[in-house]
């Protein structure tokens, strides 16, 4: 979680009390179905809906994102509240949630992209129509705080979601390659840390060697940790490959969040763990443990394949990782191999 988002959390209490009281729709826990629903793939002329479910953005941000998408042969539709502001949020909770619901309901929209992360997605859950979303499977993508929206939709609507770039991320050739491979071509991609020859390879650090198969699910560590105990995360992680990433976190906080996943029973259930990038995660105290110390303490004893350094997270070159798709991991090679396509 970024430093700015932590500051939001520390100051949000009073502001939250000023939100108007409106009726919230209550949804029962959905009945599990046999297969996770997959959205249709993208093509030239597909329409992408832009939303700001978390922090507020500027008109220049939105225009820049729209330009990027149009350069890829896509059309753009703007959420009604995409430029709203409510303090640090991209508008009132019910309005941001309405943009999510409306994009799924709109038959002209093929995919949904969050313009940026920050903080705020978890505040939307009681306003989201998960039944509507389940009936209209579409690509929805983002990372960082968008993790909570992706996991909630996977859990409550039984739909594949995509941990990939937000609109304001760096859409370089490496990142766009995986967007194209997964969302346009519908390939069963292999994610490995092979990057352009002009860039030094990202180092893969094996924590526990081995191979495993399971359903990919994960995202930002601090966001996922904060969702545990709610009905918006799976109660059963026994068939999951958990992937994690974070940014700007003190090492003791990474330790605390992994401990939370441990005592909540998540780490003891999963079939394998991939820890992506933890940019600017530093001890910031003395004496201290290193990030390696904390990861090895928690993950090496689990008896499942685990490694650190996959290109997932707050970095320029990033994978587009589908939640809800079966994959095979190799913690020595540092690879994630999709065993099925993520789109139809």
The secondary structure element, H or E, covering residue 245 is strand 240-247
Q: Are residues 101 and 199 in the same domain?
A: no
**Could you tell me the two tokens for 194?**
């092979």
User: How far from 14 is each of 10, 227, 272, CA to CA, in Å?
Assistant: 10, 21, 40
Q: Rounded to an integer, what distance in angstroms lies between the CA atom of residue 122 and that of residue 142?
A: 14
pTM of the model: 0.89
Length of the chain: 344
Number of domains the chain contains: 2
| Together in a domain, 282 and 211 | yes
Sheet with 111-114, side-by-side order of all strands = 75-78, 47-51, 111-114, 139-142, 161-163, 321-323
Rounded CA-CA distance 207/295 in Å is 8
233 & 264 share domain:
yes
8 Å CB contact between 234 and 261: no
What pairing do the DSSP bridges indicate for beta strands 211-220 and 161-163? unpaired
**Same domain assignment for residues 133 and 229:** no
CATH of the domain at 282: 3.50.30.60
Give pLDDT, residue 283: 87
**97 and 223, same domain (yes or no):** no
Query: Average pLDDT of each block of 10 consecutive residues along the chain (344 residues)?
Result: 50 38 40 76 98 98 98 98 98 98 98 98 98 98 98 98 97 96 98 66 87 98 97 97 96 96 98 94 87 97 97 94 98 97 98
What is the edge-to-edge ordering of all strands in the sheet holding 335-338?
A: 190-191, 335-338, 326-330, 211-220, 240-247, 272-279, 306-308, 205-208
Note the pLDDT of residue 202: 64
Look at residue 178 and tell me if it is in a domain: no
Residue 151 in domain = yes
Instruction: Kindly state whether residues 163 and 114 are assigned to the same domain.
Output: yes
- The set of long-range contacts for 18-23, using a CB threshold of 8 Å and a minimum separation of 24, is 19/92, 19/93, 20/92, 22/94
- Tell me, yes or no, whether 25 lies in a domain: no
Domain membership flag for residue 184: no
Instruction: Please check whether residues 143 and 208 belong to one and the same domain.
Output: no
The reply to whether 20 falls in a domain is no
Q: Is residue 244 part of a domain?
A: yes
Structure confidence at residue 195 (pLDDT): 61
- CA angle 94/63/77 to nearest 5° reads 55
Given this model, what pLDDT does residue 206 score? 96
For the purposes of burial, counting CB atoms within 10 Å of the CB of 45, is it exposed (0-12), middle (13-18) or buried (19 or more)?
Answer: exposed
267 vs 242: CA distance, rounded Å = 8
Radius of gyration of the chain (CA): 19
Q: For residue 149, what is the domain's CATH number?
A: 3.40.50.10740
Q: Are residues 90 and 122 in the same domain?
A: yes
State which residues form the domain around 82: 36-169
Which residues participate in catalysis according to the annotation?
144, 245, 314
DSSP H helical ranges for the chain: 3-17, 59-71, 93-105, 130-135, 146-157, 173-179, 221-227, 251-263, 291-299
Same domain, 117 and 198: no
Q: Is residue 180 part of a domain?
A: no
């Amino acid at each position: 979680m970024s430093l700015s988002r932590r500051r939001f959390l520390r100051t949000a209490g009073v502001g939250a009390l000023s939100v108007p009281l409106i009726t919230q729709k209550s949804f029962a826990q959905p009945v599990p179905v046999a297969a996770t629903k997959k959205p249709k793939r993208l093509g030239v002329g597909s329409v992408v809906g832009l939303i700001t479910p978390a922090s507020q953005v500027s008109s220049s941000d939105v225009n820049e994102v729209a330009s990027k998408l149009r350069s890829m042969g896509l059309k753009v539709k703007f959420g009604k509240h995409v430029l709203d502001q409510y303090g640090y949020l991209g508008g009132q909770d019910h309005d941001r949630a309405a943009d999510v619901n409306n994009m799924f309901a709109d038959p002209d929209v093929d995919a949904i992209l969050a313009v940026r992360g920050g903080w705020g997605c978890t505040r939307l859950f009681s306003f989201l129509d998960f039944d509507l979303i389940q009936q209209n499977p579409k690509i929805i993508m983002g990372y960082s705080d968008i993790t909570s929206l992706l996991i909630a939709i996977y859990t409550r609507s039984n739909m594949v979601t995509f941990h990939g770039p937000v609109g304001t991320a760096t859409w370089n050739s490496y990142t766009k390659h995986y967007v194209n491979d997964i969302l346009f071509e519908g390939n069963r991609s292999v994610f490995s840390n092979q990057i352009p020859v002009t860039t030094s390879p990202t180092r893969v650090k094996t924590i526990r060697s081995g191979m495993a198969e399971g359903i990919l699910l994960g995202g930002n560590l601090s966001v996922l940790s904060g969702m545990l105990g709610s009905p918006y995360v799976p109660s059963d992680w026994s068939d999951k490959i958990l992937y994690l990433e974070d940014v700007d976190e003190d090492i003791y906080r990474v330790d605390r969040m992994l401990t939370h996943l441990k005592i909540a029973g998540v780490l003891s259930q999963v079939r394998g763990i991939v820890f992506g990038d933890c940019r600017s995660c530093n001890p910031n105290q003395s004496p201290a443990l290193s990030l390696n110390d904390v990861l090895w303490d928690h993950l090496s004893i689990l008896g499942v394949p685990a490694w650190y350094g996959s290109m997932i997270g707050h970095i320029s070159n990033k994978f587009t990782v589908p939640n809800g798709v079966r994959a095979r991991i190799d913690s020595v090679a540092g690879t994630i191999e999709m065993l099925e396509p993520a789109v139809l």
